[in-house]
């Protein structure tokens, strides 16, 4: 059995406001600016907002090591009286400065982290950030997915530790939402299950504790998908998914903040708003579209079938076992339709799912008159009639 892999994801706000404290961890007390000092993981990820590079704080409350990290990352540090502020250097890319800044802060505590950056929303340090929710979610979901991929070949359990001790108020909510979305993609990629836990250090006591834990072992859809390949998984028709997922390209989306200064606070814009749902559906379609089965025996063992919701999984397994049982009795030499194999009259309809797709769903997409079985060595192939793709539109 493959050992569990752990991905630690921490929401970080502005480190200027941090001071080292003694955290009460499960393995004893540890001192640091952040609760990351309590975490043990295979990969450490910091989720940060662009607004962290235009932050300000009281000079008396800022640790010198944080200022050193800011300067070392290329940020400008301005000190006026008891106020200190950071800004990106003119002409420098904000995102690159942000990543270096977060990495430097983590290195000050002895940790090497990867950084997932997204746009921000609200007024911070005299800058008005105008990222829309889809800007933020698109970059967060795809950015975290790249970190899941970096763990290597999937298998066993993926543990996602979400540390929400720090960060702007909306970050914990969308991070947990993104983690639940990523669980589905991880299952399709090949993980047996995904465990999601949320951690926080309690105020004053700084006791590092798990506040929430859940385990996901099958696909869960939060909306009806639009992309046909994903709609096939939604309806429990994995053979259609295998046929259609090849048509979907791996999703990608990145933005760069663009400050516009004039009268009033500088505005930070992010360009055209993406459709994060469409990007996520493309991710689902792409995540499981590898090492696709080609024969009946391969479909019966395919991990995608096991990741469908429990009802759909049983339907698919029943249909495939029924086909195998009939083939074992008949010993087919060439090709035949599933209707012929079952000894029933073929459908007279020119198009399947004319009124609705109840039969399609009830038989895991394997409609008798539109499914062809062919001998393939010691095994059999299953061919799906493209006319049944219309059943996914219902």
Domain boundaries, the chain: 5-223, 293-393
* pLDDT confidence bin for 91, thresholds 50/70/90: low
Residue 156 has pLDDT above 90, yes or no: yes
Q: pLDDT for 354-386, tens place per residue?
A: 889 999 999 999 999 999 999 999 999 999 999
Q: What confidence score (pLDDT) does residue 331 get? A: 79
Q: What confidence score (pLDDT) does residue 351 get? A: 81
Q: What confidence score (pLDDT) does residue 1 get? A: 62
Residue 3 has pLDDT above 80, yes or no: no
Higher pLDDT, 2 or 137: 137
* pLDDT confidence bin for 27, thresholds 50/70/90: confident
- Residue 131 tokens, joined: 């990222």
Q: Are 43 and 111 within 8 A, CB to CB?
A: no
Q: pLDDT for 199-232, tens place per residue?
A: 999 999 999 999 999 999 999 999 999 999 999 9
Rounded to an integer, the average pLDDT of 168-186 is 96
- Residue 340 tokens, joined: 């012929």
The set of residues, in sequence order, having a beta carbon less than 8 Å from that of 307 and lying 6+ positions away, is 187, 188, 217, 218, 219, 288, 313
Residue 348 has pLDDT above 80, yes or no: no
Nearest to 394 by CA among 235, 222, 229: 235
Handedness of CA 133, 139, 142, 145 (dihedral sign): negative
Q: pLDDT for 45-66, tens place per residue?
A: 999 999 999 999 998 889 999 9
In CATH, 293-393 is 3.40.50.720: no
Class of domain 5-223: alpha beta
What pTM value is reported for the model? 0.94
Rounded to an integer, the average pLDDT of 227-252 is 97
Residue 9 has pLDDT above 90, yes or no: yes
The alpha-helical segments, DSSP class H, found in the chain are 64-72, 94-108, 133-149, 171-189, 228-234, 238-244, 276-287, 296-301, 303-306, 310-330, 338-342, 358-362
**C-alpha span between 250 and 120 (Å, rounded):** 25
């Amino acid at each position: 059995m493959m050992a569990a892999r752990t991905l630690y994801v921490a929401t970080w706000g502005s480190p200027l406001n941090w001071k080292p404290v003694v955290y009460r961890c499960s393995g004893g007390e540890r001192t640091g600016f952040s609760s990351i000092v309590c975490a043990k993981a295979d990969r450490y990820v910091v989720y940060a907002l662009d607004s962290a590079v235009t932050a300000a704080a009281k000079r008396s409350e800022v640790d010198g090591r944080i200022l050193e990290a800011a300067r070392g990352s290329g940020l400008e540090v301005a000190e006026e009286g008891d106020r200190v502020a950071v800004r990106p250097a003119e002409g420098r890319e904000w995102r690159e400065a942000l990543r270096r800044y977060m990495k430097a802060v983590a290195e000050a505590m002895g940790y090497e982290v990867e950084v997932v950056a997204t746009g921000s929303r609200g007024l911070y340090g005299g800058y008005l950030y105008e990222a829309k929710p889809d800007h933020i979610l698109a970059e967060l979901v795809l950015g975290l997915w790249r970190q899941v991929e970096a763990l290597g070949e999937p298998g066993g359990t993926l543990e996602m530790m979400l540390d929400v001790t720090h960060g702007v108020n909306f970050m914990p909510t969308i991070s947990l939402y993104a983690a639940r979305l990523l669980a589905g993609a991880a299952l399709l990629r090949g993980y047996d299950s995904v465990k999601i836990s949320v951690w926080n250090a309690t105020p004053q006591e700084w006791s590092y504790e798990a506040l929430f834990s859940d385990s996901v072992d099958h696909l869960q859809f939060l909306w009806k998908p639009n992309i046909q390949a994903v709609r096939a998984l939604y309806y429990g028709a994995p053979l259609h998914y295998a046929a259609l997922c090849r048509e979907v390209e791996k999703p990608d989306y990145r933005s760069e903040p663009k400050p516009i200064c004039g009268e009033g606070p500088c505005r930070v814009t992010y360009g055209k708003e993406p459709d994060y749902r469409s990007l996520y559906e493309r991710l689902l379609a792409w995540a499981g579209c590898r090492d696709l089965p080609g024969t009946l025996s391969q479909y019966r063992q395919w991990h995608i079938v096991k990741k469908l919701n429990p009802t759909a999984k049983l339907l698919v397994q029943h249909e495939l076992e029924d086909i195998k049982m009939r083939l074992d009795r008949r010993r087919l030499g060439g090709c035949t339709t599933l209707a012929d194999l079952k000894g029933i009259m073929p459908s007279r309809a020119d198009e399947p799912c004319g009124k609705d797709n109840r039969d399609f769903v009830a038989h895991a997409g394997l409609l008798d008159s539109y499914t062809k079985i062919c001998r393939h060595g010691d095994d059999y192939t299953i061919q799906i009639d493209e006319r049944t793709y219309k059943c996914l539109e219902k």
